[in-house]
C-alpha cells in the first residue's frame, strides 16, 4: 500500500493521447500513444493483416479507440495514477461509469496482491476532454460465428459444437501459438478461416516492473472482446462465440467480488453486450455457448473428443516456453488433471500430462486451495470448488469399483474430505443465466445427450 500511495502521488496523471493506423506492407499497424506524465510515454502496437480490415470507416476507428481504453490498463497500473485523461476519442458519462466498473473489478486481483484498498469511486478519476462527435457504422446482413481460440479444452468443445456451421465460421487468436492453430486444424479449419492478431507490448513496462513499479493481472478477456468485435464488424460476422463456463462466475477470494476470471464472467458478458449494442453495431452478439455448463460438464464432453487430447494445453506457465508444455507443477495443471480424471483412464491421463499429478505430494498446497480448504482459490482460470470436490469423489468411487490403488492426493482426500456435502446431481445441472438463444440452447443440449 505504501508503494501505491508513493507512486500515485509522484505520478498523479496518466493520458491517453491518441492512436494512429498505418498501412505497412501486408498489414495495418495500430500504435497507441499513452503517457504517465513525468515518467514516460508508451507506444504499444497491434498488427492486423490488411485482408481482415475491409471497411475502416468511422465506426472502425471508434472501436479501435475503445480497444485502447482497455490497452491503457497495462501501463496505467504501473503507478495507478489518480487522474486518467482521455484525449483520443469521445466517451460519455455512462461510458465512463462502464469502464470504471470493468477496470475496478477486472483489476481486483492486482489490487488484492498489492495490498491496495480503494473504492470504485476513488481508485481513478476518468475524464474525457475530446469533443463529442457521432460515429456511423455500415451495418449489413451478417452471418456465421467468430470463435476465439485459447488452446485449452473449452474452445475445443466449442469448435465441436459449431462444426455443423463450419462453412460460415472463422477462428480468432491473439499472438497465436502453434498449439492454438493445431486445435483449429484438427477441427478442420484452413488458414483462410483464421484471424490472427499480433499484440505487441511496449517493453518499457517490463523495465518498470523490474524496478518495483506496480504489476499484476489485467482483464485480458476484455481485450479479446473488443478486438474480436472489431474483426466481426469488419467482416460482417453475426456472433462472437466465447467458451466461458458458468464456473467463471465464482469469486477467487471467498466472500468477495475478487475474481481472477472477472472478464470471463456472465456479468462482464452481459455488460459488454449492452455496451456494444448501445455504442456500436446492434447486429453483432457476443456470448459464451458454454455458459450453461460447468467445468465438470465441459470435461465430460471433452473426454469424448479424443482427437484433441494430445494437442490441447491449458498451462499458463508452460505457454511461456517456445514449445508449449504442461509444467505439471501449477494449480492450472492440477485442476485440469482433476477435472478430467473421472472420465479418462489413468493411462490416458498420463499420456496427456506425462505424469500422474494426483500422486504428487509436492502439489498438496495447490490441492487444498482447489478443494476450498484455504482462504482463496488459485489465481488461475479454474473451476468451482464444488465441482473439484465432485470430480475427486467420483474418481475415488471409480477406483473403489475396480479396486485401484489410491495415489497420494486421492488417499489424503479420502481420509480427510471424502463425501463432504457433495451434490451428485451436479453433472446434470444446467445454468440458466446465459445469453444463448433457443437455437444455441438446443444445439448444446443435443450434444450433451450424445454422451450422458
Q: What is the mean pLDDT of each run of 10 residues along the chain (452 residues)?
A: 91 98 95 98 98 92 97 98 97 98 96 93 96 76 93 95 91 95 95 97 96 95 97 96 88 83 95 95 93 94 96 82 84 96 94 95 95 84 89 88 80 86 81 91 90 75
Neighbours of 415 (CB within 10 A): 9
Q: Based on C-alpha coordinates, what's the Rg of the chain?
A: 22
Q: How far apart are CA 32 and CA 44, in angstroms?
A: 6
- Is 423 within the bounds of a domain? yes
- Is 328 within the bounds of a domain? yes
Taking a C-beta distance cutoff of 8 angstroms, is the pair 391, 342 a contact? yes
pLDDT score at 247: 81
Going by C-beta distance under 8 Å and a sequence separation of 6 or more, which residues neighbour residue 382?
247, 295, 331, 332, 335, 370, 388
3-class SS of residue 346? helix
Q: How far apart are CA 317 and CA 340, in angstroms?
A: 20
Let me know whether 283 and 319 are in one domain: no
In which element (H, E) is residue 395 found?
A: helix 385-401
- Is 23 within the bounds of a domain? yes
User: How many structural domains comprise the chain?
Assistant: 2
pLDDT score at 21: 97
- Is 63 within the bounds of a domain? yes
Let me know whether 173 and 46 are in one domain: yes
pLDDT score at 202: 97
Let me know whether 67 and 162 are in one domain: yes
pLDDT score at 387: 92
In the block, cell 509522484 appears at 10
Q: How far apart are CA 174 and CA 21, in angstroms?
A: 18
Query: Which residue among 271, 288, 305 closes a domain?
Result: 288
Let me know whether 246 and 330 are in one domain: no
Query: Which grid cell sits at 391?
Result: 470430480
Let me know whether 179 and 217 are in one domain: yes
- Is 439 within the bounds of a domain? no
Half-sphere exposure of 100 (CA within 13 A, CB side): 21
Q: Which of 38, 44, 320 is nearest to 203 (CA)?
A: 44
pLDDT score at 418: 83
End-to-end Cα spacing for the chain: 50
Let me know whether 223 and 372 are in one domain: no
Let me know whether 250 and 360 are in one domain: no
Let me know whether 265 and 161 are in one domain: yes
- Is 443 within the bounds of a domain? no
- Is 444 within the bounds of a domain? no
Let me know whether 233 and 344 are in one domain: no
Taking a C-beta distance cutoff of 8 angstroms, is the pair 48, 197 a contact? yes
Torsion of CA 404, 409, 414, 417, to 10 degrees: -160
* The total number of residues written for the chain in this structure: 452
pLDDT score at 420: 65
pLDDT score at 295: 93
- Is 446 within the bounds of a domain? no
Q: Give CA separation, 102 vs 62, 235, 272, 275, 380, in Å.
A: 19, 27, 10, 12, 19
pLDDT score at 393: 92
How much is the pTM? 0.94
Q: How far apart are CA 367 and CA 382, in angstroms?
A: 12
Q: Is 261 exposed, middle or buried (0-12, 13-18, 19+ CB in 10 A)?
A: buried
pLDDT score at 452: 72
Angle (deg, nearest 10), helices 220-234 and 266-279 = 40
Taking a C-beta distance cutoff of 8 angstroms, is the pair 68, 44 a contact? no
Let me know whether 281 and 336 are in one domain: no
Query: Which grid cell sits at 288?
Result: 459464451
Let me know whether 69 and 156 are in one domain: yes
In the block, cell 451436479 appears at 426
pLDDT score at 432: 87
pLDDT score at 345: 92
Q: How far apart are CA 304 and CA 159, in angstroms?
A: 13
Let me know whether 182 and 54 are in one domain: yes
Q: How far apart are CA 312 and CA 216, in angstroms?
A: 26
pLDDT score at 316: 81
Query: Which structural domain, as residue segments, surrounds residue 185?
Result: 2-133+141-288
Amino acid at each position: 500500500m505504501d508503494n501505491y500511495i508513493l507512486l500515485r502521488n509522484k505520478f498523479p496523471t496518466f493520458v491517453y493521447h491518441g492512436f494512429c493506423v498505418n498501412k505497412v506492407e501486408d498489414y495495418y499497424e495500430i500504435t497507441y500513444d499513452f503517457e504517465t506524465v513525468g515518467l514516460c510515454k508508451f507506444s504499444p502496437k497491434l498488427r492486423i493483416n490488411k485482408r481482415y480490415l475491409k471497411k475502416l470507416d468511422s465506426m472502425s476507428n471508434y472501436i479501435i479507440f475503445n480497444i485502447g481504453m482497455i490497452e491503457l490498463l497495462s501501463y496505467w497500473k504501473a503507478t495507478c495514477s489518480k487522474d486518467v485523461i482521455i484525449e483520443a476519442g469521445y466517451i460519455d458519462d455512462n461510458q465512463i461509469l462502464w469502464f470504471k466498473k470493468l477496470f475496478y473489478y477486472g483489476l481486483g486481483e492486482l489490487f488484492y496482491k498489492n495490498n491496495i484498498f480503494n473504492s470504485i469511486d476513488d481508485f481513478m478519476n476518468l475524464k474525457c476532454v475530446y469533443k463529442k462527435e457521432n460515429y456511423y457504422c455500415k451495418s449489413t446482413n451478417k452471418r456465421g460465428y467468430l470463435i476465439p481460440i485459447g488452446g485449452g479444452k473449452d474452445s475445443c468443445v466449442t469448435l465441436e459444437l459449431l462444426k455443423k456451421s463450419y462453412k460460415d465460421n472463422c477462428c480468432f487468436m491473439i499472438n497465436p501459438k502453434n498449439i492454438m492453430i493445431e486445435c483449429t486444424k484438427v477441427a478442420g479449419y484452413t488458414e483462410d478461416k483464421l484471424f490472427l492478431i499480433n499484440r505487441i507490448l511496449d517493453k518499457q513496462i517490463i523495465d518498470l516492473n523490474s524496478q518495483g513499479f506496480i504489476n499484476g493481472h489485467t482483464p485480458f478477456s476484455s481485450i479479446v472482446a473488443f478486438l474480436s468485435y472489431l474483426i466481426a464488424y469488419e467482416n460482417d460476422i453475426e456472433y462472437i462465440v466465447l467458451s466461458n463456463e458458468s464456473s467463471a462466475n465464482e469469486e477467487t477470494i471467498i466472500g468477495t467480488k475478487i475474481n481472477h476470471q472477472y472478464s470471463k464472467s456472465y456479468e462482464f458478458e452481459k455488460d459488454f453486450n449492452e455496451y456494444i449494442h448501445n455504442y456500436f453495431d446492434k447486429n453483432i452478439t457476443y456470448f459464451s455457448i458454454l455458459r450453461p455448463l460447468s467445468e465438470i460438464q465441459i470435461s465430460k464432453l471433452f473426454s469424448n473428443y479424443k482427437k484433441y487430447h494430445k494437442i490441447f494445453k491449458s498451462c499458463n506457465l508452460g505457454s511461456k516456453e517456445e514449445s508449449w508444455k504442461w509444467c505439471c507443477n501449477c494449480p492450472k495443471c492440477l485442476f485440469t488433471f482433476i477435472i478430467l480424471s473421472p472420465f479418462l483412464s489413468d493411462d490416458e491421463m498420463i499420456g496427456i500430462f506425462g505424469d500422474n499429478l494426483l500422486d504428487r505430494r509436492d502439489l498438496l498446497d495447490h490441492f487444498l486451495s482447489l478443494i476450498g480448504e484455504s482462504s482463496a482459490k488459485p489465481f488461475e482460470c479454474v473451476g468451482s470448488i464444488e465441482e473439484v470436490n465432485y470430480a475427486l469423489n467420483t474418481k475415488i468411487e471409480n477406483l473403489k469399483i475396480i479396486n485401484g490403488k489410491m495415489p497420494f492426493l486421492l488417499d489424503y482426500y479420502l481420509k480427510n474430505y471424502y463425501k463432504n456435502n457433495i451434490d451428485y446431481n451436479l453433472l446434470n445441472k444446467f445454468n440458466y443465466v446465459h445469453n444463448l438463444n433457443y437455437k444455441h440452447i438446443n444445439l448444446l443440449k443435443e450434444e450433451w445427450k450424445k454422451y450422458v
